[in-house]
Amino acid sequence: MFEVVRAVAALRDEAETGHLGRIERLLDFVRDSGLYPPFHTVESRINEPESVIEGRPYLMFGANNYLSLSEDEAVKAAAIRAISRYGIGPGGSRHMSGTVDIIVELERRLADLTGMEACMTIPTGYMANVGVIRSLTCEFVGRMPYSDSESVVFVDEYIHGSVSDGCRLAGVRTVRYRHNSLDDLERRLEQNRGYTNRVIVTEGVFCLEGEIIDIPEYVALAREWDAMLLVDDAHAIGVLGPRGGGSPDYHDCADGIDLVVGSLDKALGGTGGYIAGSRTLIDYLWLTLRSNVLSSALPCGMAGAMLEVLDRVETATDIRAELASKAHWLRTTLRAEGFTVLGPHDIPSVPLFIGDEAEGIAFASGLLESGIYCPLMRWPAVPPGRCRFRLSIMARHEQRHLDALVEACVTVGRDLGII
């Protein structure tokens, strides 16, 4: 796969001149190599186990609606009630048009669920990550609170692209440490001890690796080094913890985490993002977070839906246990069939590792022909030669759906000589 990167670099010399010449050349190359992502049109039930895609029924294993709340009748009714009362949009940036009470209530509830003091919602988790790194590392005015040159961010090498984009936007010194290696992180803290404003970023759940991260170990290291700790809990909220509050709830360590960033579009079944932390940090983000200041707020209907979702999440203990046991069954069954399934933990997105892109693409089309919808995660979303499927399990998946998935994987895997 590194040849692909080299071949792409060589295209510069062959490209037609003019603005679009290089873009067209690149697109042709990506399409001809079969690497252009397929976009299928889902006609109904995108968040249900049985979906209709381009006129054909499919079993859906690509949606992250883990708790199956997206299609819940009471949740949809709550969204409609909120739209009837407030209209479809929030009216603009909260700095310009005020802030809607239903969104303020949602933030109070998210703070309570995560165990943090305060919370701010943002239209997407991506925007939350992109904005927050800059706020934590760059000067706002007059070298306050930090001058850019005293800041450094330590990120796990597999951190989500939204954090990497946030680091680039901030222009801050960014140091990658080996995936989930506290030893390597400590070595790099030591090497960069001259930078006094340190921020460590990890994820609570690395869904592409099948791992729950031991956040208390990061809390201890962050304290030792007087660093801020930011945890991206996009795949942990709703799934981990007795109340579904994500990493702080699961590890009972809310007081050791400075900020938790999360997404409303995975287990919570909606769309949107949030940042939760101390009152001081959230007040500071109200002042500085450009993805809040310069962008419109969460839609009101979504806030209404999410309030209903949160009522359910806190008591969804049985659903969380069932999801874990379905994940356990799927992981162990696929492994017994000879597949490589990454990670030690029973989280509801199960990473089925393929590796080679050409095999991954052939496997993906085999699954599609067998009526299974689960797009391939491939370069550039994962490193070249490390493609995989993220098989997402929802509460409404029944054993017969999982059986059909395994049967399709085994048939396609044998045809391709993968198992």
Ligand X SMILES: Cc1ncc(COP(=O)(O)O)c(C=O)c1O
User: Does the footprint of ligand X cover residue 234 (CB under 6 A)?
Assistant: yes
- Long-range CB contacts (< 8 A, 24+ apart) of 405-410? 405/59, 405/61, 405/330, 405/372, 406/330, 406/333, 406/334, 406/337, 408/366, 408/367, 408/370, 408/371, 408/372, 409/334, 409/337, 409/339, 409/352, 409/367, 409/372, 410/337
Choose, by CB under 6 A, the member of 72, 107, 211, 232 that binds ligand X: 232
Contact yes or no for 120/286 (Cβ under 8 A): yes
DSSP string, 280-294: HHHHHHHHH-HHHHT
Spatial CA neighbour of 154 closest among 178, 132, 135, 134: 178
Closest CB to ligand X among residues 124, 151? 124
Q: How far is the CB of 356 from ligand X (least distance, A)?
A: 24
Pairing between strand 259-263 and 228-232? parallel
**Tokens standing for 351?**
């990473």
Q: How far is the CB of 299 from ligand X (least distance, A)?
A: 13
Closest CB to ligand X among residues 232, 308? 232
Stretch that binds ligand X, among 21-29, 39-47, 125-133, 407-415 (CB under 6 A): 125-133
Closest CB to ligand X among residues 72, 203? 203
Choose, by CB under 6 A, the member of 65, 137, 247, 263 that binds ligand X: 263
Contact yes or no for 171/133 (Cβ under 8 A): no
**Tokens standing for 78?**
């709550």
User: Does the footprint of ligand X cover residue 247 (CB under 6 A)?
Assistant: no
Spatial CA neighbour of 176 closest among 150, 154, 192: 154
**If you search the block for the tokens 């239903």, which residue do you land on?**
102
User: 308 to 327, contacts with ligand X by CB under 6 A?
Assistant: none
Stretch that binds ligand X, among 124-132, 237-245, 283-291, 406-414 (CB under 6 A): 124-132
94 membership: H or E segment, kind and range:
helix 94-97
Closest CB to ligand X among residues 68, 392? 392
User: Does the footprint of ligand X cover residue 125 (CB under 6 A)?
Assistant: yes
User: Does the footprint of ligand X cover residue 124 (CB under 6 A)?
Assistant: yes
Closest CB to ligand X among residues 61, 126? 126
DSSP 8-state secondary structure symbol assigned to residue 255? G
Neighbours of 182 (CB within 10 A): 14
User: 37 to 56, contacts with ligand X by CB under 6 A?
Assistant: none
Residue nearest to ligand X (CB): 125
Return the exposure string of 214-244: e unless at least 16 CB atoms fall within 10 Å of the residue's CB, then b.
ebeebbebbeebebbbbbbbbbbbbbbbebb
Q: How far is the CB of 332 from ligand X (least distance, A)?
A: 25
User: Does the footprint of ligand X cover residue 126 (CB under 6 A)?
Assistant: yes
Q: How many residues bind ligand X (CB under 6 A)?
A: 13
Per-residue mark of binding to ligand X, 144-173 (x: CB under 6 A): ----------------x-x-----------
Q: Phi and psi of 376, rounded to 5°?
A: -80, 135
Stretch that binds ligand X, among 88-96, 210-218, 230-238, 327-335 (CB under 6 A): 230-238
Closest CB to ligand X among residues 115, 270? 270
User: Does the footprint of ligand X cover residue 289 (CB under 6 A)?
Assistant: no
User: Does the footprint of ligand X cover residue 202 (CB under 6 A)?
Assistant: no
Spatial CA neighbour of 391 closest among 363, 357, 419: 363
Choose, by CB under 6 A, the member of 62, 90, 245, 273 that binds ligand X: 273
Length of the chain: 419
Closest CB to ligand X among residues 236, 418? 236
Closest CB to ligand X among residues 267, 361? 267
* Site for ligand X, rule CB under 6 A: 124-126, 129, 160, 162, 203, 232, 234-235, 263, 265, 273
